[in-house]
Structure 1
Amino acid sequence: MNGISIAVFLSFGLFVEIILTQLAILLVLARIGVGKKEYYRYPLNLTMFSAVSLIGAFTFWLLGGDHQSIDFTSFQDIVAIFGYAITVFVVNQLFIKMNHRVFYKRNVKLFDKGFLWEIQSSLIVLPVGFVLFVLYTEIGRIAIFYMGIPFVMIAIILKLLYSYQEINRYLEETGEIGHQLTKKMVVNEVYDVFISKIANLVTMDCAYIYMVVDEHLELVRFTDAKNEIQPTHSRLSKNEAFSGMVWEENKPILYNNSKEWSFLKANKIPKDMESVISLPIETNNSTIGIVTLVSKEKNAFGKVHLRILDILTNYFGVAIENAKNYEITKLNSEKDGLTKLYNYRYFNNAVEEYGSNITKSSIYSLILLDLDHFKQVNDKYGHEAGNEILRLFADTLTEFIGEKGLVARYGGEEFVISLPHINLTEACKLAESLRALIAETPFPVMKHIFPHNDVEYVSVTASIGVSAYPDHCETLNELIRHADRAMYLGAKQRGRNKVAVYQELQPN
């Protein structure tokens, strides 16, 4: 339009150029499908481009130009023509940026990629428009035919160049996103990286990430461009809304305006949305989730977005599976296989981590338990029954301690309880209550070593040692040793089924 408008302005004047520009704007707005809610764009753009034409013409005349008598060899006329072209370009860019800030509340920069693209295209198109004017002046209307073909070819080349640049940009950013996803070993971090990068990569208003959980889709992440919208649902069934359709059919969908999906009654997205793109997340030939993006703009997404998002969802699916496998492996390395409690290695790391941040005002207590005469239980009822008691005993400890501390299996029939922020007095009360609970709680077991697996209730007792920081030591590393000493010397050797405190063993 810029190339044609300069030829029309120089040949026929301002009025004809404005009429041509207005018609072009109407065609563009009709082509992109401006909806009822955006009808304001018609008067806005018509007014804006009329103002651009008027200011450009005023600059042309101010520099001494006269479209009725242009001399191509006149320096003044050449300056006037260049002044007109530059003014139209600059004023047009200013209006565009102002439009983004005022009407769309977008914080845009003047010298962005769009500005550079306009400079490149204008440097190609404007000289061709000037040549059209020269030829029209010399040979008449046939010049439109001669220059029309180059204009069409230039338009096609510019469109292909723009598409190439966009695809290349998308591919570069897609590769970087894939690289960042593969580095995350926690599933929630994978979700966060993916949705934040998608929001920056693709222009959209809302994004949803669902994961398949049992027989429904669970909404695990949601974001909107302005942080003003809250999701109206947390799960979907098959064939429900866009994501449910994609899950059922295992095919992506792309809608460019709301009329295309008017058949869908419950779409679960904000009412003013127009464009929708939704894709399955697949790994090992199965769908594990759905990604859905929506936009208020018509024709917001195209085939290029479909291809890019298809690549990204593949990265995403692989990253999720890797993170899940890592978390399972990590959990198995931290948990005791029999009791499902944390093992001693995890417990020791937790104590060291807490100890690295300890201060003078910190308090920390530790309880060490050992089941009394447990070998006799194994001999009488069998090792399977003994293992069952250990599992039930671990459940009892976990339920009793709750959120107060960390329970771990120390080894064999020994268990340890870490109690951050609990002083010695409170720890002793907990230990005594726990001792009484254990002694009063019979555990049901099967007598596996006999022909008939009858259920029998077995009572056990525990010897318990307690130590605390800073009462008994200067560093947390000494706590386990002190608690162990209290348990054996103070509880085991004094009759078992007792609670002993390390301080009581010290000479007066």
Structure 2
Amino acid sequence: MPNSNNRRTVLWALWLLIVLPGFYLIIHYFPPPEIDPWNLFAFILFFVLMCLMPMNINGASTFLVQWVTVAVFLKYGIVVELFISQLTMLVVLFRSRTDEPQSLRIPFNSIMFFLISCLAGMAFILAGGEIGSVNLVHIIVFGLIFQIVSVVANQVIFYIYDQITGTPNKFFSIDAIWDFALTLCVFPYAIALYITEAYIGSAALVLLGIPFFIMTAVMKMYNSSEQVNIDLKKAGEIGHQLAARLSSDEVLDQFVLQVADMFKSDYAYVIDYRGGELIMLRMFENNEFIKLDIPAVRYNKGIAGNVIVTNTPVVYEKKSQWNEIVTGYIPVDAESIMCTPVARNNKIEGVLVLASKKKYAYVSHQLQILDILSTYFAVSLEKAGYVQKAIAKSERCGLTKLYNYRYLDEALEKCMNKVKSGELEKLSLVMMDIDHFKSINDTYGHQSGNDILIELARLLEAEVGEEGTVARYGGEEFVVLFPNYGKDLSMLFAESLRKKIEKHPFRIKTDLGADRSIQDVHITLSIGVSTAPDDSDEPNALIRNADRALYIGAKQAGRNKVAAYVK
């Protein structure tokens, strides 16, 4: 029954056919004994309190009502136990949080609890059990039969339902093992409650209930603190991983991946707060990054805008809580949302938004963990920015802002390895030198020479574009590295560049004359070209070959020429 509407119809139809007539038959054939109303009320109140204080076992909320159920059955029989079980079921359903609609959960659980009560009660009666007995051996033996049949029936019904709905599940799962273990643990309490209540009345509920409630509260606090500690440990590990990233993009990607995984989120968004606008930096949906196509919005719009304005993180448990807020980027199938500001030096820099398709996917303590992670993220992003600036400064020529020899050496090494591995078919290096540059410095001054170097650098960047890497090799020498450029194509580029530079007027301010005038100066380039793997398959050899072509083939041949290396 994959369709929820069909499943709902079938479940309610079965409920009408099974539960209503079943209650009538049970009351008719197994009427309850005389009941003290106040005593029954005490049991019902006890049940409700038990349902309001679940224990977290194996990562799931567990309602330990079995020991009271057994005591109620042994005292009042199947009718009262059926009634209280149904009441307990309703309290548990409305107490627990799940994204499955109540219109499906109520009929299924009502049928399941009814069948479990009937099967366990019939097993007790058929085995010879007697309601209201005070014989200890009788109580233990037949009470255990009732309890074991209850657990087995519960597992069987769940297994059959999962098979019908197509949900993969094993009969002896970890949950089944926990159920059996809990049965053995709480059964002595059930016997103790039944016998004590038989002799002293409702006071037994207080005597045995208070220690149990205290234990439950302590266990709940312990489990909560343990989960917080686990999350804090994960947050620390993520912080260390972020700190190891050296670029802003790496920090962003790592942060989004780790946070989405930690909080089991279907959607994750990192939004930058800049210039009064919210700008999307990363979109992570269904375990993959999405191409950014979200326009910027005003800083006070949507869920992220509310967080910016109030500087307060928020958790929405279901869509009805945030559906009226204009979002602009939250998918329609999202339910739970957790959103926190990202601040640095007490200034909000952005917003992190997490969303899940499930209701009640996030809990309050996770906001604190997310706030810690956001701090790690902001610090790591700032650090990565400093690292990138330092790297860029160490890799760039201070005068021309082109890459320097250090960067060129590393880039050439990487490209040559790609040639050797077959990732690149060709690699060309074009080396150029300004002709008679010393005389330009002597005539116009070194600052004028620097102006020419700077303008030439901009011209080279414009000519090369994204096709290659431009670097200042030293002095008045420049190098262009062309991946997948053969010698012929590189020679065409070099000749075109030579002609363009020859005709280009470089405007300088003369420094050496009495009159510091503005004038145009023309320069020429001598250029050498070498290609791998034709000329060499070693980085240093490729540079030497281009340098040799420049000086022997171009400089010595009269300058203002292009020459290729010849073996």
User: Are positions 1:288 and 2:352 aligned together?
Assistant: no
Deviations 1:103-151 (A, max 9, x none): 8979999766x77877786666444333222222333333233333233
Which residue is equivalent to 1:386? Answer: 449
8 Å CA contact 2:134–2:195 kept in 1: the answer is no
Superposition pairs for residues 445-456 of structure 1, below 5 Å?
445-447=508-510, 455-456=518-519
Which residue is equivalent to 2:92? Answer: 28
Which residue is equivalent to 1:199? Answer: 260
Q: 1:424 to 1:385 in 2, by over 3 A?
A: same
Which residue is equivalent to 2:40? Answer: none
Q: 2:393 aligns with which of 332, 357, 361?
A: 332
User: Are positions 1:2 and 2:66 aligned together?
Assistant: yes
8 Å CA contact 1:211–1:288 kept in 2: the answer is yes
Question: 3-state SS of the aligned residue for 2:350?
Answer: strand
Superposition pairs for residues 150-229 of structure 1, below 5 Å?
150-225=211-286
8 Å CA contact 1:242–1:267 kept in 2: the answer is no
CA displacement at 1:264 relative to structure 2: 2.4
TM-score normalized by structure 2? 0.77
Deviations 1:5-52 (A, max 9, x none): 232233333443332222223223334577895532322333344444
In structure 1, distance between residues paired with 2:170 and 2:396: 52
Give, as a single letter, the amino acid of the residue that structure 1 aligns with 2:273: V
Superposition pairs for residues 107-186 of structure 1, below 5 Å?
125-186=186-247
User: Unaligned 5+ residue runs, structure 2?
Assistant: 1-64
Q: 1:8 to 1:414 in 2, by over 3 A?
A: same
Question: 3-state SS of the aligned residue for 1:444?
Answer: strand
8 Å CA contact 2:527–2:561 kept in 1: the answer is yes
User: Unaligned 5+ residue runs, structure 1?
Assistant: none
Q: 1:474 to 1:146 in 2, by over 3 A?
A: closer
Q: 1:27 to 1:410 in 2, by over 3 A?
A: same
User: Are positions 1:355 and 2:416 aligned together?
Assistant: yes
In structure 1, distance between residues paired with 2:448 and 2:291: 52
Report the identity percentage: 36
CA displacement at 1:465 relative to structure 2: 0.9
In structure 1, distance between residues paired with 2:377 and 2:164: 37
Superposition pairs for residues 30-429 of structure 1, below 5 Å?
30-32=94-96, 39-54=103-118, 56-57=120-121, 64=127, 66=129, 68=131, 73-74=136-137, 78-86=140-148, 88-89=150-151, 92=154, 125-225=186-286, 233=294, 235-261=296-322, 264-266=325-327, 268-359=329-420, 362-429=425-492
8 Å CA contact 1:65–1:81 kept in 2: the answer is no
In structure 1, distance between residues paired with 2:166 and 2:245: 35
Give, as a single letter, the amino acid of the residue that structure 2 aligns with 1:16: V
8 Å CA contact 2:251–2:381 kept in 1: the answer is yes
Q: 1:388 to 1:279 in 2, by over 3 A?
A: same
Question: 3-state SS of the aligned residue for 2:402?
Answer: coil
Q: 1:241 to 1:96 in 2, by over 3 A?
A: farther
In structure 1, distance between residues paired with 2:458 and 2:164: 62
In structure 1, distance between residues paired with 2:80 and 2:312: 50
In structure 2, distance between residues paired with 1:197 and 1:282: 19
Q: How many residues end up aligned between the 2 structures? A: 501
In structure 1, distance between residues paired with 2:169 and 2:551: 70
Question: 3-state SS of the aligned residue for 2:420?
Answer: coil
Give, as a single letter, the amino acid of the residue that structure 2 aligns with 1:6: V
Which residue is equivalent to 2:563? Answer: 500
Q: 1:240 to 1:484 in 2, by over 3 A?
A: same
Question: 3-state SS of the aligned residue for 1:460?
Answer: coil
8 Å CA contact 1:209–1:291 kept in 2: the answer is yes
Using the TM superposition, name which of 268-277 and 32-41 deviates more.
Answer: 32-41
8 Å CA contact 1:469–1:479 kept in 2: the answer is yes
Give, as a single letter, the amino acid of the residue that structure 2 aligns with 1:426: L
8 Å CA contact 1:273–1:294 kept in 2: the answer is yes
In structure 1, distance between residues paired with 2:452 and 2:158: 75
